[in-house]
Amino acid sequence: MKMLPCHYNRLKKAIVALPPIPRRTYNDAAYRWHLFYLAGIHKSLLFHFIYSFYNDNHIDTALRKIVLGTSGFPRGEIRK
């Protein structure tokens, strides 16, 4: 993952603060980005800051690490 730990922690903090969100019919990538937008990151200064350093692939890798569906844990759970 190319994201610095301080940036990753800010992203993780915003997503973990969300109440449990059901997966519904989202595929893994759509669910990760849905959480990203529900956390309001796209409206914050963090969004512009993150996008000045990283592209969508870097951000998705960080989201993948936060959302446990890709790391062997039950889908839809969020690592705290």
The domain containing residue 61 runs over which residues? 5-70
Q: What's the pLDDT tens digit per position in 29-65?
A: 898 899 888 888 777 777 777 778 889 899 999 999 8
Q: For residue 3, is pLDDT > 60?
A: yes
Three-state secondary structure call for residue 78 = strand
Averaged pLDDT of the chain: 79
Specify if 46 maps to a domain: yes
Specify if 77 maps to a domain: no
Q: List all residues 6 or more positions away from 38 whose beta carbon is below 8 Å from its beta carbon.
A: 18, 21
Of the pLDDT bands very low, low, confident and very high (cuts 50, 70, 90), residue 71 is very low
Residue 74's Cβ-count burial label (10 Å; 0-12, 13-18, 19+) is exposed
Residue at token pair 């449990």: 20
C-alpha closest to that of 10 among 56, 43, 47: 47
Specify if 62 maps to a domain: yes
pTM value is 0.76
Q: How many domains does the chain have?
A: 1
